[in-house]
């Protein structure tokens, strides 16, 4: 599968915005291991941008280069028009960071951590209100080691937000959390965006990317394979759609086959699987309603980012 | 500066929340001091002079070295645990200077060393009315300086130790044989000639000689050689750690 260069396929939102992160051609090696081959992307102000890909693809390395924690061997990075390595201190005051698998001191209390972090930044939001908003108010006096996985992650979000940053980096935020805690975190991340901040996150969960991200960059073996909104990527790479319906009406097959976007109709007794692209679903709905065809089952089979990933890389993201 | 103070204060509180750490770094050296003093001093303390042959500075020098080495091993453990848990990395992803993050631990170690040695001196005054005049404040200052210098060894060990599990054993393995050769338990002159030359330049030998001298009232100028060794230890270990220190 050929790699798509960002320049060629880069998706641009219609609204003209300024990019807050510009990464161009970065490469990073550790000894003989190439962590990043060639990574380029831009993040626009106010969006949730996701770096998605399997574990070990280079998402975290990319993010840590952008955060100024690692220095790429080659390529340039501008974050809020600053060099993350040279202007580290200035930049740290304007960004909020949550690191993958980070820990705090076992016996630090929640409020102490928030208070300490608040003292490190020029601007800061009210720590108590922040904990309230993140649902940690009752845990103010708790030691870090006694918190659940979800509570720890919420505390790390609090630390990332305490300086009221313009730009927030979240690395594998929901890894290891149960589905309920995960949903709660997603709501929090949407809340960050709603307050006008830009969010850059990494995830290997396609569902998370689809639900949260305005745009994603698919990272695979140290390269950005493609960038775009989840919908646009699906339309671009996996335009095939399917509708499954069940009917006793004998007219159905002929009617469905005559639809313009249909490429294939498979029949299994009374159950039809209609494949096609474009406005397939609308067409099918029109067809059954126009001919008053009695339908007892109706569902769509739509491709998602998972399918895009499989198509672009030739393997599933779960491998 | 606010960052350093806040971080140090938090680290002090965290340290106090771990009972084992407090026992190891405060209670044990005090206990050693009393046990060894009790054994080596004619009790109850009286007008009677100490028996010849028993070094009056042995107990304080031993406890002081326990205190200083306790601080070093504890520093190694903390740094490697913080590194392994990603705590160092998380702190570095803030406007904090890397040096500030490490300095807070040095300050905490020095502070607890200070508290313990003060307790030692005060309790010593109370329980062992001195038959020999002791230069207590000179001794306290000497211990603080010594601890500060050899904490740099701790950073060097912490830089190279692979995982937190090995941190404390490795630190012990490096430091305690050095203590054995330091002239504290038997004079360096009694060692084989080849070992002597090594033992004399060991930082812990300098530390022991300096602390002993300070206890018995030597002026610091009499220990220029020891001070040079300690200063070189500080300089070399700090420079090396700055090169090889790993944050993650």
Q: What is the pTM of this model?
A: 0.85
**CA-based nearest residue in chain A for residue B9:** A116
A299: how many CB neighbours lie within 10 A of its CB?
10
Q: Where are the domains of chain B?
A: 2-42+54-244
Write out chain B residues lying below 8 Å of A89, CB-based: 95, 97
Task: Domain count for chain A, please give it.
Answer: 2
Give every strand in the sheet of A295-301, ordered side by side: A262-268, A271-276, A241-247, A295-301
Domain for residue A16, yes or no?
yes
Write out chain A residues lying below 8 Å of B13, CB-based: 112
Same domain, A218 and A254: no
Structure tokens that stand for A68 in this block: 């100024």
- Please, where are the H alpha helices in chain B? 2-16, 19-22, 28-40, 58-84, 87-92, 98-127, 136-160, 164-180, 193-201, 203-215, 224-244
Domain for residue A104, yes or no?
no
Of A44, A39, A47, which is closest to residue A76 (Cα–Cα)? A39
Same domain, A172 and A284: no
Summarize pLDDT for A141-167 with one digit per residue, the tens: 999 999 998 899 999 999 999 999 999
Q: What is the CA radius of gyration of chain A?
A: 23
CATH code for the domain in which residue A191 is found: 3.40.50.300
Same domain, A50 and A177: yes
Write out chain A residues lying below 8 Å of B89, CB-based: 69, 99, 102
Of A148, A149, A155, which is closest to residue A134 (Cα–Cα)? A155
Comparing CB atoms, the residue among A105, A112, A117 nearest residue B94 is A117
Same domain, A294 and A171: no
Evaluate whether B159 touches B75 at the Cβ level (below 8 Å). Answer: no
Check the CA dihedral B223-B227-B230-B236 and report its sign. negative
Same domain, A87 and A179: yes
Verify whether the Cβ–Cβ distance A105 to B7 is below 8 Å.
no
Whole-Å CA distances, B39 to A35, B34, B50, B55, B67:
62, 8, 12, 12, 19
Tell me whether strands A48-52 and A198-203 are parallel, antiparallel or unpaired: parallel
Residue positions counted in chain A: 319
Summarize pLDDT for A70-84 with one digit per residue, the tens: 999 999 999 999 999
Model confidence at A214: pLDDT above 70: yes
DSSP state of B131: S
Verify whether the Cβ–Cβ distance B90 to A107 is below 8 Å.
no
Summarize pLDDT for B5-60 with one digit per residue, the tens: 999 999 999 999 988 888 888 888 888 888 887 766 554 444 444 444 567 788 88
Summarize pLDDT for A20-76 with one digit per residue, the tens: 999 999 999 998 999 999 999 999 999 999 999 988 899 999 999 999 999 999 999
Interface check A39 vs B, CB under 8 A: no
Angle value at C-alpha B147, between B26 and B134, nearest 5 degrees: 75
Domain for residue A219, yes or no?
yes
Residue numbers in chain B where pLDDT is lower than 50 = 43-52
- Strands (E) in A248-309, as ranges, are 262-268, 271-276, 295-301
**pLDDT, greater one: B183 or A2:** B183
Structural domain for A77, as ranges: 6-94+166-236
**Whole-number Å distance between alpha carbons of A111 and A128:** 8
Same domain, A211 and A296: no
Provide the CA A246 distance to its chain's centre, in angstroms: 35
Verify whether the Cβ–Cβ distance A92 to B95 is below 8 Å.
yes
């Amino acid at each position: 599968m050929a790699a798509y260069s960002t320049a060629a396929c880069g998706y641009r939102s219609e609204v003209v915005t300024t990019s807050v992160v510009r990464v161009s051609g970065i490469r990073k090696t550790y000894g003989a291991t190439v962590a990043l081959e060639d990574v380029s992307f831009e993040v626009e102000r106010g969006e949730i941008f996701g770096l998605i890909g399997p574990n070990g693809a280079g998402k975290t390395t990319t993010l840590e280069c952008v955060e100024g924690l690692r220095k790429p061997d080659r390529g340039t990075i501008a974050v809020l028009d600053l060099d993350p390595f040279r202007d580290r201190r200035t930049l740290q005051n304007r960004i909020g960071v949550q690191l993958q698998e980070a820990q705090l001191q076992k016996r630090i209390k929640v409020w102490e951590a928030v208070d300490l972090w608040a003292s490190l930044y020029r601007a800061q939001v009210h720590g108590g209100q922040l904990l309230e908003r993140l649902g940690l108010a009752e845990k103010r006096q708790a030691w870090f080691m006694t918190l659940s996985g979800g509570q720890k992650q919420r505390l790390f979000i609090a630390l990332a937000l305490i300086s009221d940053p313009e730009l927030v980096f979240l690395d594998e935020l929901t890894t290891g959390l149960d589905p309920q805690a995960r949903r709660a975190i997603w709501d929090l991340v949407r809340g960050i965006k709603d307050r006008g901040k830009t969010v850059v996150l990494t995830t290997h969960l396609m569902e998370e990317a689809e639900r949260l991200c305005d745009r994603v960059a698919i990272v695979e073996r140290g390269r950005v394979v493609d960038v775009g909104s989840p919908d646009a990527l699906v339309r671009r790479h996996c335009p095939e759609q399917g509708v499954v319906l069940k009917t006793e009406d004998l007219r159905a097959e002929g009617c469905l086959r005559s639809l313009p976007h249909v490429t294939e109709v498979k029949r299994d007794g009374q159950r039809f699987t209609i494949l096609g692209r474009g406005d397939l679903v609308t067409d099918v709905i029109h067809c059954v309603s126009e001919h008053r065809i009695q339908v007892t089952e109706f569902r769509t089979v739509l491709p998602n980012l998972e399918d895009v990933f499989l198509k672009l890389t030739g393997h599933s993201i779960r491998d | 500066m606010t960052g350093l103070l806040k971080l140090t204060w938090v680290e002090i509180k965290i340290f106090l929340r771990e009972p084992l750490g407090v026992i190891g770094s405060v209670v044990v050296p005090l206990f050693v001091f009393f046990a060894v003093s009790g054994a080596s001093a004619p009790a109850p303390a009286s007008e009677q002079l100490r028996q010849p042959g028993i070094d009056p500075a042995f107990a304080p020098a031993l406890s002081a070295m326990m205190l200083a080495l306790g601080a070093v091993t504890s520093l190694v453990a903390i740094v490697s645990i913080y590194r392994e848990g990603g705590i160092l990395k998380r702190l570095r992803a803030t406007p904090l200077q890397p040096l500030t993050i490490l300095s807070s631990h040095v300050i905490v170690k020095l502070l607890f060393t200070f508290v313990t040695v003060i307790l030692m001196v005060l309790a010593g005054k109370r329980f062992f009315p001195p038959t020999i005049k002791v230069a207590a404040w000179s001794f306290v200052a000497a211990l603080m300086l010594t601890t500060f210098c050899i904490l740099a060894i701790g950073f060097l060990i912490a830089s190279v130790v692979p995982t937190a599990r090995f941190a404390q054993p490795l630190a012990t393995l490096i430091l305690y044989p050095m203590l054995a050769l330091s002239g504290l338990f038997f004079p360096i002159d009694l060692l084989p000639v080849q070992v002597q030359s090594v033992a004399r330049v060991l930082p812990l030998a300098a530390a022991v000689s300096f602390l002993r001298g300070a206890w018995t009232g030597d002026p610091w100028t009499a220990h220029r050689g020891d001070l040079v060794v300690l200063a070189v230890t500080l300089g070399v270990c700090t420079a090396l750690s700055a090169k090889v220190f790993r944050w993650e």
